[in-house]
Chains A and B, each alone.
Chain A
Amino acid sequence: MLRISTFRRGGVHPHDRKELSKNSPIEVLPMPSSLVVPMSQHLGAPARLVKAKGDVVQRGEMIGQASSFVSADVHSPVSGTITEVTRIRLANGASCEAVVIRPDEIQGEMFTVRHDWKSEDPKALLDTIRRMGIVGMGGATFPAHVKFAIPEGRKVEALVVNGVECEPYLTSDYRSMMERADETLEGIMILSRILSPARIVIGIEANKMDAARLLDDRAREHGYPIEVQPLKMKYPQGDEKQLIKATTGREVPSGKLPIDVGAVVCNIGTAYAIYEACVFHKPLIERVVTVSGEGIAHPRNILAPIGAKAGDLIAFAGGYSRDDVDRLVSGGPMMGFSFADEDAPVTKGTSGILALVDEPVETGVCVSCGKCVSHCPMGLMPNRMFRNIKYGNYQAALDMGLLDCKECGCCAFICPAHLPLVQGFKLGKKMGRRK
């Protein structure tokens, strides 16, 4: 295998805690008594509800239609009846329209017929991806058909597949790679047909060398032109820009997109979703969710239908193991959202649900140690941007590159005074935009 590479600047090394759920195979969540399917599970405009209360829906039937260019269809994860149309609050704090579905007792076998994707042309495949409501499953949930529609005249030099999973605790991508290696690789080949890249590379961090070796072996066996690139462990390597830097050596210019340096990034989970979409015409209606954290009795990886409530997954993982669980997090601990309501549903972007125990964090004063500066992967100066935002000088923060900040949390993680730097930058971006 190749030499181990990484991105050069910044980054931190949080304890990865993956051992909690690493060896638990993917298990299917028993059908919950009701599902809450939100219309906004992706970046962009929410889907428009096309069903009404009382309607009977089939598993995989469209219930929400993309309402604009950057938007995605939403499908019913089960066969059942819509009992209610309501507004709910998602784990990320946003409020949106949602339908409550009562599943039928008996769920028929569906999506078992294989389709031959190799004979379809790339445009048709991209359209299938659109119709199946695929979004980026790494967390940003950008609609896949928009991301993979390469502008006329651009050439994809590298398709970078993101198997990094650099967030602590999360093991859903790892389990996917271990248990669905062939399917995932086929998904990548479908994407390769759409993009026709000069080179395909899967980036995997060194704490998952078994997955790297497995994918490398399988790819060789199938004769796929896929390289597996092991990467040194470092957060935030799973970020698009850092991953492109680590695998291709190119830097995406500030304010530009990966395609501007000829790269397209796709998550491992997305590759599997593309496989299911193009081979079985199965929409994105379920996903692997890691339920973990010190407060979970039996951390595990659960294949859950979209719309299952966080509480259902936590109960399936044995419930809480201790009383001092003070924080539920959707996603990873570095960039995920903390939420209080256990009824918040799993969405297309929910990679994990974590129950974290109290971590005594006291906010101090900035001592100008410069750790945030030297650990910022984007080469920003978090200390000075934060100070400007604190005093309401949003324009000065923007001039220092605030919009390059992707809220990866390295600065706030490493800050010895535990300053809420990321919170400040979120505020600063909002206020800066308002002007």
Chain B
Amino acid sequence: MKIVSASPHVHTTMDIRRSMLFVIIALLPSCLWGVYAFGLRALVVLLVSVASALLSEYLLGLIDKKNTLPDLSATVTGLLIGMNMPPAIPLYIPVIASFFAIFVVKWTFGGLGCNWMNPALAGRVFVFFSFSSAMSTFSAPRALAADALASATPLSAVKTAISGGMQNLDYQGVMDQLGYGTTSIAQSIGGALGISPYTVDAFLGNVGGCIGEVSALLLLVGGIFLIATKVITWHIPVVYLGSFALLSWVFGGIRSGMGLFSGEVLMPLFTGGLMLGAFFMATDWVTTPTTKKGEVIFAIGCGFFTFLIRYFGSLAEGVSLAIILMNILTPTIDRYVRPRRFGYVKPVKEAKKK
């Protein structure tokens, strides 16, 4: 039988399912690192998150009489939620987060493509405010297991110290004062390159934090993989990280009483959920603007709010809230920011003619 259909008759092989698969592949190195650093318990958290997301998606699919599991979007959501959990989290928390993400944030608005907020982030933020203490209790990574202090994330350790009155010190100074541990590899690399060993540890992933967010290096590798395979473009990650780094450098020293242009750049970039957020959450197709110009505005907003919350808010971490705030602004950005049309000529105003 010959089919008659509208052009084009060839299509890209990069469909939704394949793109989601690529996202999962890009996330795996960081997940594996999390499991290595925090032990099998981390693996259990990841599996529970994915399984509960898939189960929610499957059950809701029964209502709609369609099976949406093959598009893999629920798998990505579940995986991202797991990666955003502290390793020792009680297991019912990721289950609640996954269910909230899939049911409330995604399904009630119409499923894939219709949600206006990133489901994984919304799930994380929901449980963060519901179970603040469990969500803020971290364990030390394998390399620093002997160090009791290392169970706090560098961001929260520094923030607590600075608001506790530790002034006029940069990150390294604060961490030294606190007696935060470093690995010997980081000390030698840091010594050779002339940068703080804490920064090197944060880059490699030898710090406390959520399962999937600790290794900036592996997240960077995954992000570059996604850009190379054209699942995402460079605009959002680069502008997000860039604007955040710029603001941190210019205004980041103020809270320590050091004035302008004295803020740390590398350490804030590598710690917390920034890499995970910039490459994998802020680039979510559904909840970000559709134009490149809009994406740049979106990313600058993310950088700005992340900076604001981290440096001047009461929370140590601001990536998820910053991205969610910008998710809310996305429809507005899309309404006003449009690409310049090819050969567009401004219509002559009627009034002028007369």
Give the interface of A toward B (CB within 8 A).
9, 12, 14-15, 93, 168, 241, 251-254, 256, 325-329, 333-340, 354, 356, 359, 361-362, 364-370, 373-374, 376-381, 383-384, 401, 404, 407, 409, 412-418, 420, 422-423, 426
- Residues in B neighbouring A416, C-beta threshold 8 A: 12, 14-16, 18-19
Which 9 pairs show the lowest CB-CB distances between chains A and B? A370-B290, A409-B8, A423-B6, A369-B285, A340-B2, A333-B9, A379-B341, A365-B113, A378-B342
Task: Report how far A420 CA is from B6 CA in the complex, Å.
Answer: 8
Most chain A CB atoms below 10 A, which of B10, B113, B291? B10
Asked if A334 contacts B344 (CB within 8 A), the reply is no
- Nearest CB in chain B: distance from A257 CB, A: 11
Q: A326-B3, A379-B341, A416-B16 are in contact. Are A422 and B8 (CB under 8 A)?
A: yes
Contact of A373 among B10, B14, B71, B339 (CB under 8 A): B339
Q: Is B133 an interface residue (CB 8 A)?
A: no
**Number of residues in B with C-beta < 8 Å to the partner?**
40
The answer to whether B8 touches A417 (Cβ under 8 A) is no
Against A, the Cβ 8 Å flags (1 = close, 0 = not) of B324-354 are 0000000000000011111111000000000
- Residue B112 lies at the interface, judged by CB distance under 8 Å to chain A: yes
Q: Say yes or no: A328-B2 contact (C-beta < 8 A), given A367-B286, A409-B7.
A: yes
Q: Which residues of B contact A377 (CB under 8 A)?
A: 342
Instruction: Answer yes or no: B156 CB below 8 A from chain A CBs.
Output: no
30 contacts between A and B (CB under 8 A): A14-B12, A93-B4, A254-B341, A326-B1, A327-B4, A327-B5, A329-B9, A333-B7, A333-B8, A336-B9, A338-B4, A339-B2, A354-B9, A365-B112, A365-B114, A367-B16, A367-B285, A369-B286, A374-B291, A378-B341, A379-B341, A383-B290, A384-B290, A401-B341, A412-B11, A413-B10, A414-B14, A415-B12, A416-B14, A420-B6
Interface mask (B16-45 → A, CB under 8 Å = 1, otherwise 0): 101100000000000000000000000000
Q: In B44-85, which residues have CB < 8 Å from any A CB? A: 71
Smallest CB gap from A420: residue in B: B6
- Known contacts A254-B345, A374-B292; decide if A14 and B10 are in contact (CB<8 Å): yes
CA of A241 to CA of B343 in the docked complex: distance in angstroms? 9
Tell me if A's interface is mostly helix, strand, loop or mixed: loop
For A256, what are the chain B residues with a Cβ–Cβ distance below 8 Å?
Answer: 343
Whether B196 sits at the interface, judged by CB under 8 Å, is no
B233 within 8 A of A: yes
| CB-contacts of B138-184 with A (<8 A) | none
Closest to A383 in B: B290
B112 touches A254 (CB 8 A): no
Check if A373 sits within 8 Å of B111, measured CB to CB: no
**Which of chain B's residues have a CB closer than 8 A to the CB of A93?**
4
Tell me, rounded to whole Å, the shortest Cβ–Cβ distance linking A239 to chain B.
Answer: 10
- Distance (Å) between the CB of B216 and the closest chain A CB? 26
Chain B residues within an 8 Å CB radius of A415: 11-12
List the B residue with the shortest CB-CB distance to A15: B10
Are the CB atoms of A370 and B285 closer together than 8 Å? Answer: yes
Per-residue contact bits, chain B 276-313, to A (CB 8 Å; 1 contact, 0 not)? 00000000011111111001000000000000000000
User: How many Å lie between the Cα of A356 and that of B30 in the bound state?
Assistant: 42
Q: Please judge, given known A-B contacts A252-B343, A409-B8, A416-B16, whether A368 and B285 are in contact too, CB under 8 Å.
A: yes
Kindly state the separation between the CA atoms of A254 and B290 in the bound complex, as whole angstroms.
Answer: 23
Chain A residues positioned under 8 Å from B295 (CB to CB): 370
Q: Return A358 CB to nearest CB of chain B, in Å.
A: 8
Neighbouring B residues of A251 by C-beta, 8 Å: 342-343
Contacts of B262-288 to chain A: CB distance below 8 A: 285-288
A407 & B112 in contact (Cβ 8 Å cutoff): no
